[in-house]
Amino acid sequence: MTFDTNRNLPIVGNLINSEFVFAIVCSRFNDTITKRLLEGANDALIRHGVSTSDIYEIWVPGAFEIPVVAKTLAETGRYNAIICLGAIIRGSTGHYDQVANQCASGIQKVQIDTAIPTIFGVLTTDTIEQAIERSGTKAGNKGYESGLSALEMANLMKQLDKKDF
């Protein structure tokens, strides 16, 4: 195999802890689901070498409140990534669409405005059964996946900080 020495290799994040600090913002609304997402996120981080003393959990009333707290945390500069966890389950009104859209937009805005990886680990499901499936049963645990994404993005941002473009 030959390599083109004039070409830079891809820049990628990995799943190795490099003394990163994480914040997890978790919604109390639908807490039977969000507690399982939180367990999954913590499990992913700890299994990949993150100390429990470097994981900060912050609880908010609902998914709509996640972005403002995530932004406040990101602006401190203390966290390498922020994981946002919640469960928005469709009901019989249009409330679901408003909360889901504003939550997603707010989390994305935090990430863009602060350049701190802000992971969208908020379930948006049609039924409680779908939420249960995505919080630790046959569809896996989206909290665990969010923990891995946070670790990978923290590592990627560290690589980008070192890179001379």
Token pair recorded at residue 67 = 């972005």
What pLDDT, on a 0 to 100 scale, did the predictor assign at position 6? 56
What pLDDT, on a 0 to 100 scale, did the predictor assign at position 150? 98
- DSSP, collapsed to helix, strand or coil, labels residue 39 as helix
| Burial class (CB within 10 angstroms; exposed 0-12, middle 13-18, buried 19+) of 82 | buried
Give me the active site residues, please: 95
What pLDDT, on a 0 to 100 scale, did the predictor assign at position 13? 86
Question: In this structure, are residues 100 and 88 in contact, taking their beta carbons and an 8 Å threshold?
Answer: yes
For the CA atoms of 74, 79, 80, 86, what is the dihedral angle to 10 degrees?
-70
Residue of higher predicted confidence among 119 and 5: 119
What pLDDT, on a 0 to 100 scale, did the predictor assign at position 43? 97
- Helix H or strand E encompassing 160: helix 142-162
Domains plus CATH for the chain?
22-157 (3.40.50.960)
pLDDT value at 7 more than 80: no
pLDDT band at 146 (very low <50, low <70, confident <90, very high): very high
pLDDT band at 68 (very low <50, low <70, confident <90, very high): very high
What pLDDT, on a 0 to 100 scale, did the predictor assign at position 165? 60
According to DSSP, residue 9 is labeled P
Q: Are strands 81-89 and 140-141 parallel, antiparallel or unpaired?
A: unpaired
Q: Which of 96-100, 103-107, 128-132, 135-139 has the lowest mean pLDDT?
A: 135-139
pLDDT digits (tens, 9 = 90+) for 14-49: 888 879 999 999 999 999 999 999 999 999 999 999
pLDDT band at 133 (very low <50, low <70, confident <90, very high): very high
Q: Supply the mean pLDDT for the chain.
A: 92
What pLDDT, on a 0 to 100 scale, did the predictor assign at position 2? 52
Q: Which residues pair with 26 in a beta bridge?
A: 59, 85
Angle at 110 between CA 104 and CA 115, to 5 degrees: 130
Tell me the C-alpha distance between 63 and 107, whole Å: 10
Residue recorded with tokens 């919604």: 27
Q: How many CB atoms lie within 10 A of CB 3?
A: 7
| Burial class (CB within 10 angstroms; exposed 0-12, middle 13-18, buried 19+) of 146 | buried
pLDDT value at 3 more than 60: no
pLDDT digits (tens, 9 = 90+) for 79-94: 999 999 999 999 887 7
